[in-house]
Structure 1
Amino acid sequence: MSRDTTTPLTAAAALFDLDGTLIDSEPRSQELWRRLFAAHDLAITPALLASLSGRRSADVIAEHLHRFSPGLTPDDLRRDLRRLDEETSLPEARLMRGARTLLNRLRNAGIPTALVTSGGLKYATRHLARLDVADHFATLVTADDVTHGKPDPEGYLLACSRLGVDPRQALVFEDSAAGIRAARASGAACIAVGNPPPATTSETLAVVHDLADTPEIRRADGKAYQDQATPRRGEASP
């Protein structure tokens, strides 16, 4: 789904993933999972780490619970994860390059923004406040708001519903395979950030390494992206 990136985009809303898209938190996230697995004497491979990107911790824990000692519950592991997340030796998350510039451009263009993250509300609000970008977002959709995490489109559909926009007029910024598939399944267009999995780049309008390099975005005039799929609940792109 390549396009001429010199032509301005139109959008009724811009929706951002948090980790790896708006903030550079991947080193912190990966170290957190490494420490959780190590605390339970389990090895974790680079491939396994990569497969966890963009997903809710509850979904990851449910999928890998069988690897941990019998008798441990998802609540036990979530408590361990929260405790580890408080360790001061973890890498600190920073804004992605160009993030503040892009957010200011969207504000000046009158385009509302939302955050759609696989993290919890406390996690998201802490980082947004610390990095002084919280006031850019009209609504936050977190892991606490959805039944099905990415790659299910529920979070993006909910954000569009809260903003009162057609998902086919929304523009999503994502970095992970799960997030890109969630965006596409919602009917939205997607810009990939950083180094997305190669198999997903054909599903995006463009790939940017610096958010400030995003093509110009103008407020939508009421027309949906013509090549987007019809929004569908509970189904992710293959």
Structure 2
Amino acid sequence: MSAHGDAGTPVTARAALFDLDGTLIDSEPRSRALWRRLFAGHGIECGEDMLAGFSGRRSREVIEEHLPRFGRHATADQVRQELTALNGEPDLPPVRLVPGADRLLERLRRYGVALAVVTSGGRTYADGHLTRCGIAGHFTTVVSAEDVTHGKPDPEGYLLACRRLGVAPGEAVVFEDSAAGLQAGRRAGARCFAVGQAARTPALRRLADRAVEDLAQAPVAGPTDTDASRRRTGTGTAG
């Protein structure tokens, strides 16, 4: 797959599947601060390279991977409970909607595209942020960490979202900002857009069909987008 196609030619899709963190909401500063706080509380060094490896993955899998560093008596449940408690601290960076996300969601719904979120976060986390950012009502379904056995880069979450929406993966587009997420979308058989940091990173752009830094400009057309249909078939009239 290549991100070097004609960015102006719309991709027609019946469904659009969105990652949450870093794709729809700008939660990366908060997430990194939270992980640093967790590890620092146990005297564990946590650098940028290590944090980058957490992107797009479920917290459960990250904790299990690093559990031996928390001491011989630590359990994954205890560390997860500690992470949850830290997430409630008031001095963490705020979470905001990614610029352009609301305009893209409104446009896709207007043109008959079914929408879903596929996140590595938990259900309560996802629902809370979608509601606070005012976009929860756009989505037909949310696939969260509790809904799958295998997290990204496994395609299970995206395949489940397609089943819930009643569309084939080849009829869907995926929006992702991480390597794990783009790999999951590709393995599901969907067309992938690299967004956010991924759109600015050559190695991640190569995992996608397209790359867009501004979600509002994403060239996606829905089943009822007649203007896009005319552009693709060349039947539009010159003004």
**TM-score, normalised to structure 2's length?**
0.90
Structure number, greater radius of gyration? 2
User: What is the identity, as a one-letter code, of the residue corresponding to 2:208?
Assistant: T
TM-fit CA distance, 1:168: 1.0
Quote the Cα distance in structure 1 between the aligned partners of 2:194 and 2:224.
Answer: 20
In structure 1, what residue type is equivalent to 2:76?
A: P
Aligned to 1:117, which of 116, 119, 127?
Answer: 119
**What is the percentage of aligned positions where both structures have the same residue?**
57
Give the letter for the 2:100 counterpart.
G
Shift of 1:218: 2.5
For residue 204 of structure 2, what is the aligned residue in structure 1?
A: 200
Counterpart of 2:96, as a letter, is R
Aligned pairs for 1:176-215 within 5 A: 176-196=178-198, 197-215=201-219
Instruction: Give unpaired runs (5+ residues) of structure 2.
Output: 226-239
Give the counterpart letter for 2:54 in structure 1. L
Mind listing any 5+ residue stretches in structure 1 that lack a counterpart? 222-238
Pick which of 196-205 and 160-169 moved more: 196-205
C-alpha deviation, 1:198, in angstroms: 2.7
> Number of residues paired by the alignment?
221
Match of 1:203, SS state, is coil
Of 127-136 and 198-207, the range deviating more from structure 2:
198-207
Task: Provide the secondary structure at the position in 1 that maps to 2:216.
Answer: helix
Aligned position for 1:165:
167
Give SS of 2:197's match.
Answer: coil
1:6 and 2:8 matched: yes
- AA in 1 matched with 2:14: A
Write out aligned runs for 1:1-238 (5 A): 1=2, 2-196=4-198, 197-219=201-223
CA distance in 2 between counterparts of 1:220 and 1:143 reads: 32
For the aligned residues, what is the CA RMSD?
1.3
User: Counterpart in 2 of 1:231?
Assistant: none
Letter paired with 1:49: L
**TM-aligned CA distance change 1:220 to 1:164, over 3 Å:** farther
| Cross-structure match for 1:236 | none
Answer whether contact 2:20 2:119 (CA < 8 A) is retained.
Answer: yes
Counterpart CA distance in 2 for 1:113 and 1:200 is: 23
Structure 2 CA distance for partners of 1:155 and 1:216, relative to 1, 3 Å: closer
Aligned counterparts of 1:184 and 1:85: Cα–Cα separation in 2: 31
Corresponding residue SS for 1:219: coil
CA distance in 2, matches of 1:7, 1:193: 17
